[in-house]
């Protein structure tokens, strides 16, 4: 059954638990990190980060430096923000079906949707960190979890813990595309396209799809655009900050989505989570099927 949780070997799960402290006294090199941690936990820092102006200035500077895309909305419609994601509440019908790919250790967006709308949310994430976290949660009614990945084709996918720029290994984020990976740290998971998942779950349509899949979104979008039944709303975190992806690829995929009838209506405060809505009722495949 497609929605059944994966049964991963205990050794695999244990190998992904972050290393604990060695018990040694912090060296001088550790003091700047400790000071930085104290600053980030301060009330002043939290207050500044909670300001809309902080994020507007930060995004402006990133765009000015060439790190982020200069984007403009195609349309202006009522939106609601939840966990940094923007969606159109008026385009969420009663009994809507929602797919959310990439859970990590938060279902704040999904819980807010369930609280505000009469929907069923299907969440997908095969990583052991998320499996352990989900098992410890009391998920709301209408939330269904599936331990599998989404991809550009039906296959087995190898995922690696993300390693950040400063060399720190992420506890919750996994990727198939990053060049910053630790050798022998990968796990193999089942992966399917969105159309394949729809067939398995018996869904002829999906009202909203959210993609937070650490760089796999480009292949996933290609596989979606091949088929006629496209979601009304598509929310995507684009990972053009990955060195092997780059901004130009995201720019090309925004154009692809425009050509498929999607309007950009929401830009998150980071400039990476983009929200699209279908502005045409006709459904014509707009991309070549994956090989």
Decide if 189 is inside a domain: no
Decide if 48 is inside a domain: no
Q: Going residue by residue through the chain (291 aa), what tens digit of pLDDT does each one get?
A: 444 443 444 443 343 334 333 444 444 555 666 666 666 666 666 666 667 778 788 888 888 888 888 999 999 999 999 988 999 999 999 999 999 999 989 999 999 999 999 999 999 999 888 999 999 999 999 999 999 999 999 999 888 876 666 656 666 667 666 555 566 667 889 999 999 999 999 999 999 999 998 888 999 999 999 887 899 999 999 987 777 778 888 999 999 999 999 999 999 988 889 999 998 554 444 444 444
Q: What is the CATH number of the domain that holds 87?
A: 3.40.50.150
Q: Which pLDDT belongs to residue 99? A: 98
- Nearest-angstrom CA–CA distance, 211 and 49: 25
Q: Which pLDDT belongs to residue 181? A: 59
At 202-222, the pLDDT tens digits run: 999 999 999 998 888 999 999
- Nearest-angstrom CA–CA distance, 86 and 105: 19
DSSP-H helix ranges across 17-154 = 31-40, 43-49, 52-64, 108-116, 128-135
Averaged pLDDT score across all residues of the chain: 81
Q: What's the alpha-carbon Rg for the chain, to the nearest Å?
A: 20
Backbone φ and ψ of 164, nearest 5° = -75, 170
The pTM (predicted TM-score) of the whole model is 0.77
Decide if 87 is inside a domain: yes
Decide if 40 is inside a domain: no
| Cα 57 from chain centre | 24
DSSP secondary structure letter of residue 228:
S
- Nearest-angstrom CA–CA distance, 158 and 177: 9
Q: Residue 12: which H helix or E strand, with range?
A: helix 10-15
- Nearest-angstrom CA–CA distance, 240 and 83: 20
Decide if 29 is inside a domain: no
Decide if 5 is inside a domain: no
Antiparallel, parallel or unpaired: β 85-87 and 80-82 = antiparallel
Decide if 114 is inside a domain: yes
Written as six digits, the tokens of 115 are 């609280």
- On whether the CB atoms of residues 217 and 238 are closer than 8 A, the answer is yes
- For the chain, the domain total comes to 1
Decide if 218 is inside a domain: yes
Written as six digits, the tokens of 252 are 């090309």
Task: Please give the residue range of the domain that contains residue 129.
Answer: 73-145+204-278
């Amino acid at each position: 059954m497609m929605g059944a949780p994966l049964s991963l070997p205990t050794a695999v799960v244990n190998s992904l638990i972050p290393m604990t402290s060695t018990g040694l006294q912090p060296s001088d090199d550790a003091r700047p990190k400790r000071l930085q941690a104290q600053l980030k936990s301060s009330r002043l820092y939290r207050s500044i980060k909670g300001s809309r102006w902080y994020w507007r200035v930060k995004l402006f500077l990133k765009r000015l430096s060439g790190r982020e895309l200069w984007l403009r909305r195609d349309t202006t419609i009522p939106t609601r923000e939840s966990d940094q994601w923007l969606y159109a509440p008026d385009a969420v019908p009663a009994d809507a079906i929602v797919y959310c790919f990439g859970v990590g250790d938060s279902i704040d967006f999904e819980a807010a949707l369930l609280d505000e709308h009469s929907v069923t949310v299907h969440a997908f994430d095969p990583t052991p960190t998320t499996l352990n976290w989900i098992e410890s949660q009391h998920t709301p009614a209408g939330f269904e979890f599936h331990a599998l990945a989404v991809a550009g084709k039906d296959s087995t996918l190898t995922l690696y813990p993300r390693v950040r720029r400063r060399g720190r290994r992420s506890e919750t984020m996994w990727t198939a595309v990053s060049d910053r990976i630790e050798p022998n740290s990968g796990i193999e998971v089942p992966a399917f396209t969105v159309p394949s998942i729809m067939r398995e779950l018996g869904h002829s349509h999906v009202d909203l799809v959210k993609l937070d899949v650490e760089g796999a979104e480009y292949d996933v979008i290609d596989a979606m655009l091949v088929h006629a039944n496209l979601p009304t709303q598509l929310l995507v975190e684009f990972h053009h900050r990955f060195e092997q992806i780059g901004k130009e690829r995201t720019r090309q995929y925004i154009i692809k989505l425009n050509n498929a009838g999607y309007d950009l209506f929401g830009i998150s405060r980071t400039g990476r989570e983009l929200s699209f809505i279908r502005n045409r009722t006709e459904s014509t495949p707009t991309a070549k099927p994956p090989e």
